[in-house]
Amino acid sequence: MLFAKTFGMLSLMDDTYDVYATLEECHVLNEAIQRWDESAVSTLPEYMKKFYINLLKTFQECEDSLQPDEKYRVSYAKKAFQLSSKYYLDEAKWSSEKYAPSFEEHVEVSVMSSGFPTLAVVLLMGAGDLATREAFEWAIGVPAVVSASGEVARFLNDIASYRKGKNKKDALSSVECYARERGVSGEEAAAAIAGMAENAWRMINRSCMEVGGALLPAARLVVNLTKTLEVIYLGGRDAYTFAGDLRDLVVSLFLNGPAI
């Protein structure tokens, strides 16, 4: 439940930066999120106030649900959320200013704005004894397992959005940046990006072997979360945006069930 609620707020924040807010409003929202205080509500446009209040409330509910010796975990999740806000703002600037980043520059920002580095930290909040302080320090530092998982998230999402179509206000995708920089077609760029997603999986596997020890259970949780991306974007679909694409799978898992 902690993960689901926080994921929902992250998605709302992402859409606000991408589609609904002006650049000036994006700056104001980011400043409020960096402050993380109810007094910042008055600085926001009316339509953002409810989101911001619910954001603070959600994190407070998360903290209240944890044991006294676990409450410190929320501070890591807040820090990760604030970091996502900064990267969302960077992309909003690109979009507003019609800036075309290099492919390398795009990946550096968009892997972080994929939301995965934030979700990797949020995931640990409700992970019981597996979530040690060492695990949180590891996750917040965006180690190779997390950054490579962010690449999988970004590349699969961008391939899907290239084929399905993206919002006109969205910043350039990695597919578009690659195609422009290399002088290739969109399909050739999408194929190259798909290959990079495969390489990211190799990095994930290799990094997990190197992690070992007490951090391995946390790394496995991150890998399991990454696996869900392959379901969401299976065959180039975008079940994150068009959730109906997962209807048959959900019915199969939770309603029909296996025959006994």
pLDDT averaged per 10 residues, the chain (length 260) = 85 92 96 96 95 94 91 94 95 91 94 93 88 93 95 93 70 90 95 96 93 88 92 80 77 70
pLDDT of residue 258: 59
Provide CATH code, domain 2-256.
1.10.600.10
What pLDDT sits at residue 165? 65
Residue boundaries of the structural domains of the chain: 2-256
Residue 213 confidence (pLDDT)? 82
Contact assessment for residue 15 and residue 47, using Cβ atoms and an 8 Å cutoff: no
* Residue 167: per-residue pLDDT: 59
Q: What is the model's pTM?
A: 0.89
What pLDDT score does 34 carry? 97
Q: On the CB side of 35, how many CA atoms lie within 13 Å of its CA?
A: 16
